[in-house]
Structure formats: structure tokens, C-alpha cells
A and B are shown apart, each in its own frame.
Chain A
Amino acid sequence: MTASARPEAIVEALGTAWTVFSLYPDPESQPAFRRAVELLQEASGDGAHLDLDSSGFSFSGEPVVTDREGAERFAKRCYLHRVEGLAVVAAPSPRDVERLFAGLAKDDATTSASGGIEAELRRDGVVSFSVAQRSLLRVVGTEDAPDRDGKVQQVLDAGVDAAAFAEALIEESGGEPDAVVDLFYGRYHETLDHLTEGDVFGREGVVQTFVEAFFYLDEPAQLGAFRRFLDSDEVFDRAFLDQFAGHELAKLAPRLDSQGLALLLDYARVATDQADGRPDELLGILKNPEALHSVREVAAAKVQERLGELTKAAEESAKFLAIVQDKFPDPRRYFYDSLEVFRGLLAVEDREDRFRRIMRVWVGKVSASVRASDFRRAELWLRSVTAKPTYPPDRQSDVDYSLAQIANPEILNHIVAAAAEKGEREAEKGSPEESALRLLQALGPRAVNALIDLLAEEEGRNRRRLLVGLLSRIAAEDPAAIVNRLSDDRWYVVRNLLTVLRETSTATASQAVVTATDHPDSRVRLEALRVLGISDSGATKRLTKAFADDDEKVRHAAIGMMGAAGTADASLALVAALDDRRTRHSDKLRIVLALASSENSSAIDALTSLAKKRFVLGGQTRSLRDAAQTALRRRQPS
């Protein structure tokens, strides 16, 4: 193929010419049209043959890609006419192109009725184009195609009296069943072979005529002919069979030999899977071999029996209706039924783009429910995906992405606002506030992160307290999301998170919290000490270190916690600090109090020793002794 006659160029030329034709009454007067025709004339030497399907033109199996809108419109127009192939077989004149387009500009029914586009072109003397159209068995309309072959027309005329047609065939064959079969089957194909390409009405009429005539054949001929059609995979033999209703097939089934029956069963299986399950009844019957000999009688009896049941007395009708009414669904379940279907959708949808679309629907549902403050519904929507997932594991990233979409600040603000309405009281089970909390919990770490961000931005003290409370509840089961954010640059964020952790009372000894005890901001260090408490093995060392903290509050907190620990180690550490000259006086007074609160004997011994000191120099030492004495007195039972 020459460079200028590339398939793309041909399609574009056709598209351009089509556009001009559509716009101007005299397209040939337009230079663009003439140029396009010239290109088509060049291409004709290569015998360019284009195929067409719903996605557009293709050449040798490869799609012809062009960005010209005119080409796309032309392809669509051709497709509307069921064109499946278009070839430029000789150099077309401008008139040829116009004739081709004139055919395409008509509606499909009109061109079909006149035998198709190819037939129209031939009648107009156009031989430069060859157009192949897909044939339809049936289309809308009733017009007959002109110029039909005489044999075809004869059959169609005979179709008005199928009995006479069948009789004529029997007579012509001599009446011997095999001969009738040969003639019937042969004439069917012979007639179809004489049809003009695209004469869909004719084709439909021929098939119908033969099907109707079939029922007027004698039984042996019917069975013989039927076997012929069953034996074949040819499209018009299948079309013949497709005209039979299930019960008609069922009637023939028991009279077929075993091979024929097997073929019929195969046919029924294929047909049942398609076309509204039409021969399904046949399959059902064939499953029961005993019924094969009296299929029709069984079916008739069954129908009569069932119909008879319907005409029984009124009270029986009422009883029957009561049975049906027992099956009425509970309207309160509708939403849950819908959620099941949604989960079903997730399970069956194996197309990536459609799965993502369903996820978008889901995000929309959860978000809309939240915006409508229907937190219960939002929670149920949310859990329809996250609880016991039905989606395949390889869709997890799509689900995660969608969860992140849901957990955006706007949505979380709605939830927080709802939760805030509960005020100081505990949310009752089933209340919107409780649902809001459960919704946040269901959102998991994504909600935690977003709530932390909200917390960081929040200036109102009450609302901050609320957020901390919410976070504490959400993080109670899984504090990891909180711990992971302890490296935040903002001291107040870190402190708030530590407060959250303190309230959850879980995972307090994580390394991130320990690290926070060295935080540059004393408020963070203080909170970190509180979170860590005294339960772990490193507590004494950590608190002892805090005795030397620059911040008094931190030191005092450490002393208090050490005293509360009440262990021998803790007491020894306190005593050591008491004896240490570097320890500030105010801290030593705290240490005295801490020792006094301890039940440890070494703590009491140290206090007693201090209280009994007789010679003390300086006011500070004296006040320390007095404090020890006071503390010991308080310890004695009154």
C-alpha cells in the first residue's frame, strides 16, 4: 500500500468526504471533497479493504486510528447500517462516492428493504466500492425487497398457507419420508442461497415458512428433518431450531433416537443459557427419563392440575394468599438486604474500573449519611466493606484509598460535631453520638490521623478536650496510630497525644513514649513521665534521672511518682537524692513527703533518722527535720 493510501488516510478521506456530503447540497463543488476522492482513487490500486465493528474501522486486524471526527462519524454511520466491510476495489468517481453516501444517508430499514447498500450501488452502476453488511434475521418493518429471485418469492408466497406448502413438498418428493426430508432440507438451503445479500425480510420469511411447514409434515419426515438441523452447526440451521418453543422441542424429544436426543440436549443447554432461557422447560423434562414417553401428556396434565388448583373455593384462595403473605419481606430489613447486595457486588465485580466505581459509590454513601447526621447508616455502610470483607484481597489498595477518601477533615468534623453534642453525659447505646464514635472506630487509623490533625488545629479548649476524649476511646483498642504520631514537631500535639495515651492506659512503655521523656519541652516531658508511670522495670532509673530535670514540675512529678511506687529501689533512690547535696531544698521537702507516703521500711528508717537529728545547722536543714517529724507524726495512728 502506498504511503498516501495508508488505511488511516483512506478512512480520513472517507470521513472528510462524508462530512462535506452531509453539509453541502453539491459536495463535488467543494475542494475538500474532490481531494478526498482523489485519494480514494489512488488507494483503489491497492485493493484496500477495511473491516468495521463497533469500535471503528480496522485493516488486516489492526484498528485504524484517526483523530478526525468526520472519520468517526462516518464509521458510526456505517455501523448503523451494519456494514462490516468496505473495500475500494476500483477508482471511484465523485458520483460513485456520492451514491455510496446517499445509500448510507438513508435509514437502515429503507436500504435493507431495497436489498442493502451493495445492491443499491450495483443498481446505480457503481462498481468501485464493495460493501459487506451483516445480515439480520429480523428487523423492524414489513416492506418486501424488490427484485427477489423467483424461487425465494415463491416460497414467501407459499408462506401464507404453510399446509399447502408442506403438501406440495411431500408431493414433489414422492412422499417417501427420506425423500421428503432431503427435499425439505435441501429446498430450505437452496432458497436461502438465492436470497439477495441484505434481504433480511426475505430471510425471515423463508425461515418462518419452513418452520410453519415443518409442522404439517408426517412424523417420520419431521423427525428426519429435525435430525438434519440438529446435526448441523450452520447458522441458518440453528436459526431454524431457534424458532421452536420449548414445549415444541419437548414434544419432539421422546421420538428422537438416542443420538438425536443427545444433540437436542446439547442444543437445549446452549439455548437455555441464552435467549431468556427459552428451552429451559425442555431441559427440565429431559432430566426425567420416565417422562420422556409422555412429555406432552405430563406437561398438559401438570398444567391442568395447577390451573385446576387455581379455581378452587374462595377460602382456599384466602389460605393461599395467607401463605404468600407470610413470605412478605420485613421493610425494616430492606436496607440490610441492600447492603448484602452491595457486598455481593464487591464479590462478583472482577473488572478493575467497575470495582473502583463501586468504591466511589461507597464513599458517596458513607459521606452522604454522615452529612445527613445518620451515623448509624454511615456506620453500616462503612462496615459493609470493612467487616468480613467480600472483595478479593487484590482490591485492598482500592479499599484503602477509598477509606482515606472517607476520612477527610470535612467528614470527620461532622462526626466530631455530632459527638460533641453529647456533652458531658455518656453516650447511650444506640444514640447518634454512640454511632458517631463507632463510626470513628470503624474508620480506624485513618480517623485517628485526621482527628489528630483536627486536634492540632483546634484552638477551643473544650473542643480540644472532646477530641482528646474521642481519640482516647478510639485508640483504646489500638494505640499504635497515636504512638506513631509522637514524633510530631509541635510540642502541644505531642503532649495531647501523650494525654490520650495516658487515658487509654495501654502500651505506655513504648519506645516512642520513653523518647518523649527527653523532649525539649518540659510540658511534654512531664506528660511522658505520667504516661509511663511506674509499672515498668525502667521506671526507677527514668524517674531518678528526672530528679535532675531543669523544670521543677517535672522533678516534683518524678519524686511523687517514685514515692507512690513504694518499692525498696524507689525508697533507696529517694533517700539517695535526699542525701545528695545537689538536690534542691524544695525538692528535698517533696522527697520527705514522698518517703512518708511509702510503706517501705527503708523509707521510714530514713525519715526517722532525719527526724531524730539533734544538731542541725541552718534553717533549711531544720525545716527539713521538722518536715520529717511532721510526716512521721501523721503516719502514726491517732
Chain B
Amino acid sequence: MSDQHMRDFFNHLRSASRQMALYPEEHPALVEVVNKATDAANGLLVDASEKAITIIGDSLYLERTILPHASLEFNRLLRDMQARGVDSITLTSRVSRGDLHDLAAFLAATSGDVPAEGTIRLNERPYSRSDLETDTGFTGLRRSYARSLDVLRGVSLALDSEESFDLTGATWVVEQLVEQTLSQPAASVLLSTMKSHDEYTFYHSVNVCILAIALARMVGLPEEEIKLLAVGALLHDIGKVRVPIRTLQWPGRLDTEQWAEIKLHPQEGAAAILAAAAPGQEIAAVVAFEHHARFDRQGYPSMTYSRPAHFFSRLVSTADTYDALTTRRSYRRAETPNRALRVLLQGAGTLYDPDLVQTFIKMVGVYPVGSLLELDTGGIVMVTGNHQDAAELADVVLVRAPDGILLDEPEPTTLKDRIIVDQLTSDRAGVDPASLIERLELDG
């Protein structure tokens, strides 16, 4: 719950900070967002008179609890704070509107004044690094993830304004992602459950990149090759920058014209990558061009050459489909991981490379880590570790009791002698698997 409250608070603080630079103090838009941020800050204080938000490295903590997704989602705001020398914010009941305004202005660098009324205090450092020592291995991954998003944002901006870019940034972050993913495949695949509705394409691209790296590792591709593949995976959808935003976010079924616009993104992406690629990096363009080519050479754009879609393209296509299906979109529900795997299986041999699909399923398991399963008891468990040979041997924790109560402390349990009635999406279960697993890991 705290993570959600914190996200609300940071969302509004971020908006207020941005609007500080645009509007005069009395402007209604600014007034409104400062009010919202104040309300959200006070919402955090419903059960305590004081709460501290601490920043260490790339992580945000509310009191002693790490906020994994907020750390990622607000990475830029977090860095703005660091740039202003803020490493902790202590909120005290009740946070005043004036102090919130001061904080937003301070972070926006439109003012050098810290909050005056004392309801928000900066840099009290109530918790030290040792109090919060927490490096779970997710930290590095999350940092790489955030940097990858930044690279995609940068590339996207450059393309959108017809400016040139190079692949240096992409290559750099991909090397880190490869390193992290190869050393912690399970954690990285779990992190790939990160979704964003606001920046779907960017988050999706990083997820596909992580899944592709993990899959490539699984099949034994050499590391240098994985890095080349990963650049292609990260940039595979970059051509969508050229698709009108309203088509990308169209909430209903696309008409012929809109669909034609969407279908151009592989060739747009390939052309952009070719323009940016240094010698030896061109293969990323192949992935962008072919990631919607089917295993049977159908799909789009039409392939005018005789060879089948490149191995890298087939691999990215598998990861792409899986992540797209498990993400909720404006026009359809998210599929559960298990159902997404079934879709891959149904298309194996026609849409997807059957060997890669098999390997992919082997990699993520029948019930991937983070899967939320409804049992015959009515309880909901989350998979925290899977066993390749038998689903019933998976490690699970009970997150929602049979009576529907969400547990504060998940309880280890077993699937043995239990019937899995259904697999649920995180939206439906009301649980954020990645956050939960990271917390479980922190708790040892």
C-alpha cells in the first residue's frame, strides 16, 4: 500500500515540480497540483505522525522499506533530487501546502529556499545506509533498467525531431543489462514484469531486451553475440516514434489507415538504426525490420530476400509476443503468463520458431516466477521459484488468504495436493509481484 501512496505522492510532486517552471504561482493548474501533492503527502501520514523518504543510490525507501517500482518509475525525479543535494525528505503531520510548494520549487531549481514551515524537512538522514543496507541484486538491475529507459527516451526524442543519434548509449546500457541478466537471470526476468501504461513502448522494449538476453543465454549464444542481439531487442520498436501517438494509444480497434501506420514501424526503425549504426552494429536494424516477420516468412513488412527471418529476429519476436500479451493495453486485457505461453505454443512452427518457443517456456517455467495462482481453496499464491521438472514443486507464498484478505506478510506454502484453479494477472490479484519478491528477498 505504501508503495502506491508513495507513487501518488511522487506523481504529484513531479507534476508540481515540472509546472513550477511553466506557470506563475497563482496559476490554477499549479495550485491544483500542489494541493494534490499536499493531500498525497498527508495520505502517507495516516498511520504515523512522521515519515522519512530516503534516497540511497538509485533506490527510494519509505522508512526502512525499499520501494522498488517507485525507485524505477521516478528515477528521473530521484536524480533531480540528488542533483539538488536532497537525500532524505521527512514529512511531518500535517504537511502544509506552503512547504509542499517550497519543496517543488526547490526541486525545480526555480527557488533556493527549502520548506519554511518545518512540516517538510530535508536531509535529516534519520536512516543511515547501514540501517537500510539492502542491495539485493535488484539494485544494479533496476539501475540498468532505468538507464535503458533513459536511452530509449533520448533516442526517441532525437528521432522525433529528425536529429541524428548513435548507438553508443544503447550499446552501453545493453552491456550492463547483459551483464546483470547473465548473472541473475531469474531476477532479471522477474523485473521484466515491470509495466507502464504511460510509456508502454519504452518499458516493453526494455522487457523484451531482458527476456531476449535471458533466452539467448539459455540457448548458449556467446556473450558478444548476445550484446549485439540485445541492442536490436532494445531498439526493436523504436520505429514507433514515427507512428502518430494517437494511433498508438487508440483505445479501440484500429481502422485500415491506422493499421497501415502501425505496420510501417519495422521499416522506420530499421532505417533509423541503420543511419545510426557504426560498422558492426547494423544487425540491430535486421531485428527491427524483421521482428514482425513470422517463422513462415509471412507477417510484415514483406521479406524481399530468400533467407528466413534472422535467428535474432525470431528470438526477439518470441520475447516480444510474450511481453506484449502479458501487458494490459488500452484495447484489451492482459493475458496471464501461462496463457501467453499457450499462445506462443499455438503459433510455434508458423508464427514463431518452435525450438525457441520451447526454450522460452523452459526458461520461464510453466508458471514463471511472479505468477499469481488461484487455488481451489480460494487463496492466491505467488510463485517465488520454479522447478523445471514439475510445477507442483515450485516455491510459492500465500499472498491472499482464502477469505480474500491480502496478507501483510506473505506465508510460504506449497502447491502439493492443491489444485490450481486459475492464473491471475497482477491487476486482478491486486499484487505487484516484482515489488513483493524484492521485499521477500530483503526480508531474507
Contact = CB atoms under 8 A, between A and B. Distances in A.
Interface of A: 22-25, 54, 79, 102, 105-107, 110, 135-140, 235, 238-239, 242-243, 245-247, 270-271, 273-278, 280-281, 284-285, 299, 302-303, 306-307, 309-311, 317, 320-321, 323-325, 327-329, 331, 334-335, 337-338, 340-345, 347-349, 354, 357-358, 360-361, 364-365, 369, 372, 374, 377, 390
A321 B220 contact: yes
A124 to B, nearest CB: 12
Contacts of B153: none
A241 to B, nearest CB: 9
Interface string B338-378: 01001101111011010110110110001000000000000
Contacts of A245: 333, 335, 339
Contacts of A299: 342, 346
Nearest to B197: A140
Interface in B291-333: 301-305, 307, 310-312, 321, 324-325, 328-333
A344 B301 contact: yes
Interface stretch (B74-82, B103-111, B245-253): B245-253
A338 B285 contact: yes
B289 A274 contact: no
A390 B303 CA distance: 12
Contacts of B390: 311
B407 to A, nearest CB: 19
Contacts of A360: 275
A interface, by DSSP: helix, strand, loop or mixed?
Answer: helix
Interface stretch (B19-27, B128-136, B395-403): B19-27
A284 B306 CA distance: 25
Q: Kindly list the 10 A-B residue pairs having the minimum CB-CB distance in the complex, ordered from nearest.
A: A338-B282, A25-B26, A105-B29, A281-B346, A347-B304, A334-B283, A136-B251, A340-B305, A361-B275, A137-B251
A302 B220 CA distance: 27
Contact of B356 (A137, A324, A337): A324
Contact of B274 (A309, A337, A365, A377): A365
B26 A278 contact: no
Interface residues of B, number: 81
B279 interface: yes
Contacts of B361: 306-307, 310
B312 A329 contact: yes
20 contacts: A23-B24, A107-B15, A107-B33, A139-B251, A243-B332, A243-B333, A246-B343, A275-B329, A285-B346, A299-B342, A306-B358, A307-B361, A310-B362, A328-B311, A335-B282, A338-B285, A341-B270, A341-B305, A345-B289, A372-B279
**Which of B23, B246, B329, B332: most chain A Cβ within 10 A?**
B332
A275 B358 CA distance: 24
B24 A25 contact: yes
A337 B279 contact: no
Which of A285, A302, A329 counts the most B-chain CB atoms under 10 A from its CB? A329
B310 to A, nearest CB: 6
A345 to B, nearest CB: 6
B419 to A, nearest CB: 15
A321 B215 CA distance: 12
A537 B324 CA distance: 78
Contact of A22 (B23, B332, B366): B23
A361 B268 CA distance: 12
Given A238-B253, A302-B345, A320 B355 contact: yes
Contact of B347 (A238, A281, A340): A281
Contacts of A243: 332-333
B126 interface: no
Contacts of A24: 24
Contact of A320 (B221, B252, B286, B358): B358
Nearest to B361: A310
B272 to A, nearest CB: 9
Given A238-B253, A324-B219, A348 B29 contact: no
A544 B370 CA distance: 98
The residue in A102, A270, A280, A324 that gathers the most chain B C-beta atoms within 10 A of its C-beta is A324
Nearest to B4: A142
A325 B220 contact: yes
B438 interface: no
Contact of A242 (B331, B335, B351): B331
B123 interface: no
B330 A338 contact: no
A452 B251 CA distance: 61
Contacts of B262: 274
B137 interface: no
Interface in B233-285: 244-246, 251-254, 259, 262, 267-268, 270-271, 274-275, 277, 279-280, 282-283, 285
Interface string B415-439: 0000000000000000000000000
A280 B244 contact: no
Given A140-B198, A390-B304, A329 B330 contact: no
Contacts of A136: 251, 330
Given A345-B271, A374-B279, A273 B259 contact: yes
B28 interface: yes
Contact of B286 (A22, A270, A324, A341): A341
Contacts of B49: none
B271 A361 contact: yes
Q: Which of B280, B302, B342, B390: most chain A Cβ within 10 A?
A: B342
B219 A325 contact: yes
Given A246-B343, A303-B342, A344-B301, A274 B24 contact: no
Given A137-B330, A274-B253, A106 B29 contact: yes
Given A105-B32, A139-B330, A365-B274, 18 more contacts: A136-B330, A137-B251, A138-B331, A246-B346, A247-B339, A247-B343, A280-B343, A280-B346, A284-B347, A299-B342, A324-B359, A331-B225, A335-B280, A337-B283, A340-B307, A341-B289, A344-B301, A347-B304
A271 B303 CA distance: 23
B267 A348 contact: yes
Contacts of A307: 361, 366
A109 B221 CA distance: 45
Nearest to A276: B324
B24 A277 contact: no
Contacts of B246: 54, 79
A140 B198 CA distance: 8
Contacts of A323: 355
Nearest to B328: A138
A324 B355 contact: yes
A138 B15 contact: no
A311 B388 contact: yes
Nearest to A329: B311
Contacts of A317: 362
